[in-house]
Amino acid sequence: MPARYSLRPFYITFSYIGMAGWVFSMIFHTRDFNFTEKLDYFAAGASVLYGLYYTPVRIFRLDQKKPPVKQTLLRLWTITCVLLYIAHVSYLTLWRWDYIYNMAANVAAGVVQYILWSCFSVQRYRKLGKPWAAWPGLIVASVVMAMSLELLDFPPLSGMMDAHSLWHLGTVGPTYWWYK
């Protein structure tokens, strides 16, 4: 990725938040304590919210300097997302550790970005007719399929493999594909 490409810092931040999310997730799934659970949930929340933040930046190219209204929109959108994250963490820390709310918040943030990416993909594919133009939409569809494991939970198979472990496994492929 060229150093002068203006979306580069967004992709780099995206990858760091993603790495933090998966590292904290690994730690939590090997050592299940109050503290490790919070780290996992907050990092996962940050990663979903960053995805939501980044999507309109890429689709509407809010990283561009012209017209100047894009910079204003980018600032407003950044502040909105930072405040949303602070509100989310504050609610879970100071008010109530609420699993249902946490899941609902992540699913809502996820669904909005998936809809945006799907519309973007359809539009680009129609315009360019290239298979890779449809990739974001297909990746989103595969993540949604993996995510359905989170919502349609079942007891562990052979007492070992539960829906959540399969969800983690199911995110490996789309992540690799996404970075391509």
- Residues of this chain that interact with Zn ion (CB under 5 A) are 25
Q: Evaluate whether 53 touches 81 at the Cβ level (below 8 Å).
A: yes
Nearer to Zn ion, 25 or 106 (CB): 25
**C-beta of 29: minimal distance to Zn ion in Å?**
6
Nearer to Zn ion, 25 or 113 (CB): 25
Residue with the closest Cβ to Zn ion? 25
d(CA 155, CA 170): 18
Nearer to Zn ion, 111 or 146 (CB): 146
| Residue 79, both tokens | 């502040």
**C-beta of 55: minimal distance to Zn ion in Å?**
23
- Burial environment of residue 150 by CB neighbours within 10 A (0 to 12, 13 to 18, 19 or more): middle
Q: Evaluate whether 18 touches 47 at the Cβ level (below 8 Å).
A: yes
**C-beta of 7: minimal distance to Zn ion in Å?**
29
- ω into residue 155 within 30 of 0, thus cis? no
**C-beta of 168: minimal distance to Zn ion in Å?**
6
